[in-house]
Structure 1
Amino acid sequence: MDQVTKTKKLINAPDDIIDELIEGMVGAHSDILCVDGPTGRAIVAVDGPRDGKVGIVVGGGSGHEPAFAGYVGRGLADAAAVGNVFASPSPAHIEDAARAADGGAGILMLYGNYTGDVMNFTMAAEELVQEGIAVRHVAVCDDVASAPVERRSERRGIAGDFFVFKIAGAAADLGEPLVRVEALARAANDATFSMGVALSPCSLPQTGKPNFVIDDEDMEIGMGLHGEPGIRRQKLAPADEVTDELVDAILKEAELVSGDKVAVLVNGLGATSQIELYILFRRVKQRLDALDVTIHASWVGEYATSLEMAGASVTLLKLDQTLQGLLDHPCRTPALVVGELEKSGVTASRSRRSVHSVAKVAVVKDQPRDLITEGDVTPAVFKAMMHNVGVQVIAEKEWLSELDGVIGDGDHGMTMEIGWKAVQHALEEAPDDETIESMCKRMAKAFLDAVGASSGPLYATAFLRAGTAVGNRLNLDGAAMAEWLSAACQGIQDRGRANPGDKTMIDAWVPAVQEALKEAANGGSALEVLVAAQNGGEAGMNATAPMKSRRGRSAKLGERSVGHIDPGAASTFVTLRAMREALDKAMT
């Protein structure tokens, strides 16, 4: 049996890496950065946010440093929400960042176009709007390899964040109103084009294993920033040939003509030497010189990494007079300094905004009501069922991550472990007389706050919908158990907008619910309903293998996603199996 290669990292406990990253980063740049908000995941510019200025909030998963918090500072982003490794920040993290950045003129949120980021930032925006804060958001989609031009809105964001953040931050710093700042960010997004190449894999700190495999003599053209497979794997070629392929794809869309001006970013993915990056830039400049296109500004180095992945990306920003002026506007952040800033005394205005961060939301207890008591699933049994889901998911985390490593970014098992550990902890704090509906609300908050990513909003919505569906019951019988499952499934569909056949967790949830409802209609008990759901979920999970993915990060793979079980469908099966096992045990 082949021995699995283990990677080496200078870390302490894997569970502490984000807290220690933030502590180290803020400590190293205490003149620029501070932490605000109760979650401890919002990094804020010391002299950035101020009254009357649009607040710029950026964010995304860790592992891409210096993105995203490295671009927080005067003249650029006012705050960054810091997610777990390769996972979107949660709505709570984003809300902390937005409240800290709020100067009364509205908030513009900027993030990469990934399912988890879109869902979490959208949920945060909905909450902030209810608080009276005007919010707009722009998902950066610069990766030309990830979708054809006619579906540009589906493209993922990679190193192009660098330019879009810079333009938006400058516009806000100059006092432009929210609508104008958003429009300029979108103009920069439309004018930014990127493509990358990977030579070796990265590895998550929690697993210590490569996320994917690239043979020593191969490279992956068009690979994503999380290690998502690109458009083609081929033999390693000389630097000029590789650069030409990346530049050709970019020039095909940028439509540059003689006399145009551009900004260029040659970005290392984490383990690529400066020698290699300058060799790539050399060829980029040769190609642009041949077109009589002027490089107005250039950056060569690590600006949006993928842990220790070897490889690089090339990004071009096509400039007009407005974008050029904003690109040149001064800023000072840990990762980017442009020009010289004028001294200002803006830090005093932070006292007004900090009120947002400490505000408490009043908790209203449910009023006493008559609840239906028939059924084998009591609140105590339900709590045991949910605890066992956590136990089983954690036990299967390596399998789930391996499945995700083939068609995603390899973190699904780790993400589910984080979420279910948070659920287990939250349920331990639940009072003995808490109803199933209240437990579901508790679980939703715990999962969402701990995880972010795409799983956070999906599972949180599932728990909330499921709890509401059985809000009139103390105990669950077969029909109520089927109703709980059906509402959970519908919540996931509504939040994620996935349908059967898209190769997602829905492909396991839908047949599970169908079988559960059939059993309930025949008068089946809660245990019989869960047996039926488990069988349906297992069949649905296995049926995802021959499917071509149409949703999420793996949708970019096309035919290359065929032949692999969807990790979300696999964790759904594990969930249903664990629920059934715990109920079976409780009844024997």
Structure 2
Amino acid sequence: MVAGMLAVHSDILMPAGQTGRVLVARHGARPNKVGIVIGGGSGHEPAFAGYVGQGLADAAALGNVFASPPPEPILEATRAADNGAGILYLYGNYAGDVMNFDMAAELARAEGIEIRSVPVADDVASAPAERANERRGIAGDFFVFKAAGAAADLGYDLDGVERVARKANEYVSTMGVALSSCSIPQTLRPNFELGHDEMEIGLGVHGEPGIRRGKVESADRITDVLMEHILGDLKLPEGQQVAVLVNGLGSTSPMELYIVFRRVKEILDRRGIGICRSFVGEYVTSMEMAGASVTVFRLDDELRTLLDHPCNGFALRVKETSADPGATRRLPDSVAAASAEPVADDAGIRRRDLGGPVSASRFRGMIRVVADRIDLNADWLSELDGVIGDGDHGVTMQYGWAAVRHMLDETPDDMPVDATSRLIAKTFLDAVGASSGPLYATAFTRAAEAVSGQDNLDAKAMLAFFEAAAEGIRARGKTEAGDKTMIDAWLPAIGNARAAVQEGKDVGNCLAAAAAGAEQGMKATANMEARRGRSSKLGKRSLGHIDPGAASSFIVFDGLYRGFVQGGGNEG
């Protein structure tokens, strides 16, 4: 896809970095201009690359289908967009995007680049007004990207560009309807099931369940419902000026979209609300989903000026761009080429042999079994996720652990546990992104710190490894017990492992106890109402379903135990 975009739009875009996931604007760069970096999962084309260009974003980082880009391509995009005036990150408000962009921001700040972030949150179906910061980012991205890009192009400083982005985010509301499901290429299965005569109001762009399912109604009636929620949220006074976007989700005909727009205009006309700018078409899609969304953007004088400012992206062109588009960008070698790989070894650390059975090679064998077990259960994990998420968890985990297995095949078998764990963190993060990438990367990074310099781990060291990993997950995901997340499998696993260690049990018994605790915790999530992650938008509708993150965590613990046993350890 990226190669195709570059072949068609080489006058607007060029690649940067080595990940193959970064597209940069050829024009518009100049010293002391604030850089705009956008990004998110693929499958929403023309978002996000379509909004890169003069007067828009300076660079986009692209993730796997429906999954956030990992920090590395975001960092590559940041370096490419850096003109010395700071960078603003704009992305949809999803846990995976927040974590990956936050991690990239930490890395960029370490390089001396000032970073600000504004997660777009415009989906009125996903949270009420008093919790607007919890809303998903959907087609409202379009207006926030446009306003912030124009502000940067006009020379606003970083504070000013951030202010504009936050105001635009506050002034935009979106709601959608789905008439059929989407599917991700790896599963070839619908992300959710809708009858041929059914529709779902408020559905997310990844297939997240909406607020109501019912029989298909007329375009006018559906539009009435969408606009009732949007106008109830924006509370627009008579005489207010707005911009409207009627967005197709992938396989809805232009005819139907124009019918919807006609009804939107009728509703706004009756209320004395004027439409000064209109957009109808496919701007933020959801693979092949049938359906549409309506976005209303409240305008003031500043936002109207910014909306009208010239821009040139392949998905959005406004007027003619300025006569002097800025020099065609030439990226320095340090940005265009690969960034240096981190050192994985721990040279200079004094090592200590604990005399336990988990040697370097045995640990790597345990990790290989985890990868095998994830691969075996990927379909099950995606099925669990399809009920309360976006249906890609199995594929995401499969990607990440397959990359880890490949890394193990390419690195020395006697690499110490801590060094291997740091490489697992980087490998998983680079391969996955999404929310699982930062969570597992942080887990293995913290775990590596806990056993740094230690060889041949015993039961106490393995417990310290697990405790540090869990604390990393809890801190990165900002989640606690009972939130219906992966931590609900990790905590009982650690509780069981700790009890085994206190009883003087060996590593095999410790791992067996951890696996049993993880299974117990996984099953318990079925009785929890989700409070974090995408499924939190479902409320009580999440009851009765196992959390997919907890399920994959159980598979990890089970795989570690199985791998230890296969390596010749005590079966417990």
- Tell me if both proteins adopt one fold, taking TM over 0.5 as the criterion: yes
2:49 to 69, 73, 87: 69
> Whole-Å Cα distance in 2 between the matches of residues 146 and 164 of structure 1?
18
- Superposition map of 1:87-126 within 5 A: 87-126=67-106
> Whole-Å Cα distance in 2 between the matches of residues 526 and 354 of structure 1?
46
Kept after mapping to 1: 8 A contact 2:474/2:480: yes
User: What are the Cα deviations for residues 47-81 of structure 1, in whole angstroms up to 9, with x where unaligned?
Assistant: 13322111110000000000111111111011000
> Whole-Å Cα distance in 1 between the matches of residues 328 and 127 of structure 2?
46
Q: Is 1:397 aligned to residue 397 of structure 2?
A: no
Kept after mapping to 2: 8 A contact 1:142/1:160: yes
CA distance 1:119–1:200, shift in 2 (3 Å) = same
Kept after mapping to 1: 8 A contact 2:518/2:554: yes
User: What are the Cα deviations for residues 144-192 of structure 1, in whole angstroms up to 9, with x where unaligned?
Assistant: 1100111010001000000000000000001110100000011100100
Kept after mapping to 1: 8 A contact 2:76/2:335: no
Q: Is 1:193 aligned to residue 173 of structure 2?
A: yes
The one-letter code sitting in structure 2 at the alignment partner of 1:295 is I
> Whole-Å Cα distance in 2 between the matches of residues 362 and 200 of structure 1?
45
Q: Which residue pairs with 2:411 in the alignment? A: 430
The one-letter code sitting in structure 1 at the alignment partner of 2:458 is D
1:348: Cα distance to partner?
5.0
State TM-score, norm by structure 1: 0.95
The one-letter code sitting in structure 2 at the alignment partner of 1:553 is R
Q: Which residue pairs with 1:554 in the alignment? A: 535
> Whole-Å Cα distance in 2 between the matches of residues 263 and 141 of structure 1?
17
Of 397-406 and 521-530, more deviation after overlay is shown by 521-530
Q: Which residue pairs with 1:511 in the alignment? A: 492
Q: Which residue pairs with 1:478 in the alignment? A: 459
Q: Which residue pairs with 1:158 in the alignment? A: 138
1:486: Cα distance to partner?
1.3
1:428: Cα distance to partner?
1.7
The one-letter code sitting in structure 1 at the alignment partner of 2:532 is R
Q: Which residue pairs with 2:437 in the alignment? A: 456
Of 422-431 and 456-465, more deviation after overlay is shown by 422-431
Partner-residue secondary structure (3-state), 1:401:
helix
Partner-residue secondary structure (3-state), 1:347:
coil
Partner-residue secondary structure (3-state), 2:454:
coil
CA distance 1:183–1:280, shift in 2 (3 Å) = same
> Whole-Å Cα distance in 2 between the matches of residues 351 and 43 of structure 1?
12
> Whole-Å Cα distance in 2 between the matches of residues 468 and 541 of structure 1?
27
Partner-residue secondary structure (3-state), 1:544:
helix
Q: Which residue pairs with 1:8 in the alignment? A: none
> Whole-Å Cα distance in 1 between the matches of residues 149 and 337 of structure 2?
22
> Whole-Å Cα distance in 2 between the matches of residues 355 and 449 of structure 1?
17
1:440 to 410, 415, 421: 421
Of 354-363 and 554-563, more deviation after overlay is shown by 354-363
Aligned length: 568
1:366: Cα distance to partner?
1.9
> Whole-Å Cα distance in 2 between the matches of residues 177 and 416 of structure 1?
40
Q: Which residue pairs with 1:22 in the alignment? A: 2
1:352: Cα distance to partner?
4.8
Q: Which residue pairs with 2:264 in the alignment? A: 284
Kept after mapping to 2: 8 A contact 1:50/1:350: no
User: What are the Cα deviations for residues 349-387 of structure 1, in whole angstroms up to 9, with x where unaligned?
Assistant: 534585585553673742152312311111100000001
- Superposition map of 1:106-505 within 5 A: 106-344=86-324, 346-347=326-327, 350-352=330-332, 355=335, 358-360=338-340, 363=343, 365-505=346-486
Unmatched 5+ stretches in structure 1: 1-20
Kept after mapping to 2: 8 A contact 1:229/1:557: yes
Of 82-91 and 473-482, more deviation after overlay is shown by 473-482
Q: Which residue pairs with 1:5 in the alignment? A: none
State TM-score, norm by structure 2: 0.97
The one-letter code sitting in structure 2 at the alignment partner of 1:26 is L
> Whole-Å Cα distance in 2 between the matches of residues 372 and 93 of structure 1?
38
Q: Which residue pairs with 2:28 in the alignment? A: 48
Partner-residue secondary structure (3-state), 1:493:
helix
Partner-residue secondary structure (3-state), 2:79:
helix
Partner-residue secondary structure (3-state), 1:196:
strand
1:270: Cα distance to partner?
0.5
1:86 to 57, 62, 66: 66
CA distance 1:362–1:152, shift in 2 (3 Å) = closer
Unmatched 5+ stretches in structure 2: none
Q: State the identity as a percent.
A: 57
1:477: Cα distance to partner?
1.1
Kept after mapping to 1: 8 A contact 2:16/2:23: yes
The one-letter code sitting in structure 1 at the alignment partner of 2:17 is G
> Whole-Å Cα distance in 1 between the matches of residues 235 and 529 of structure 2?
33
CA distance 1:472–1:556, shift in 2 (3 Å) = same
Of 486-495 and 369-378, more deviation after overlay is shown by 369-378
> Whole-Å Cα distance in 2 between the matches of residues 167 and 357 of structure 1?
31
Kept after mapping to 2: 8 A contact 1:427/1:442: no
Q: Is 1:585 aligned to residue 571 of structure 2?
A: no
1:430: Cα distance to partner?
2.1
> Whole-Å Cα distance in 1 between the matches of residues 91 and 140 of structure 2?
10
1:345: Cα distance to partner?
5.9
User: What are the Cα deviations for residues 380-432 of structure 1, in whole angstroms up to 9, with x where unaligned?
Assistant: 00000001100110110000000000000000000001100111111222223
Kept after mapping to 2: 8 A contact 1:479/1:521: no
Kept after mapping to 1: 8 A contact 2:42/2:66: yes
Partner-residue secondary structure (3-state), 2:380:
helix
User: What are the Cα deviations for residues 407-464 of structure 1, in whole angstroms up to 9, with x where unaligned?
Assistant: 0000000000110011111122222331100000010000001110000000000001
Kept after mapping to 1: 8 A contact 2:100/2:435: yes
Q: Which residue pairs with 1:545 in the alignment? A: 526
Kept after mapping to 1: 8 A contact 2:54/2:325: no
> Whole-Å Cα distance in 1 between the matches of residues 185 and 417 of structure 2?
36
Kept after mapping to 2: 8 A contact 1:51/1:349: no
1:343: Cα distance to partner?
3.1
Partner-residue secondary structure (3-state), 1:34:
strand
> Whole-Å Cα distance in 2 between the matches of residues 254 and 348 of structure 1?
41
User: What are the Cα deviations for residues 241-267 of structure 1, in whole angstroms up to 9, with x where unaligned?
Assistant: 110110011111212122111000000
1:570 to 551, 557, 563: 551
Of 422-431 and 199-208, more deviation after overlay is shown by 422-431
Kept after mapping to 1: 8 A contact 2:40/2:68: yes
CA distance 1:390–1:362, shift in 2 (3 Å) = closer
Alignment root-mean-square deviation, CA:
1.3
Of 474-483 and 274-283, more deviation after overlay is shown by 474-483
Partner-residue secondary structure (3-state), 2:239:
coil
CA distance 1:227–1:519, shift in 2 (3 Å) = same
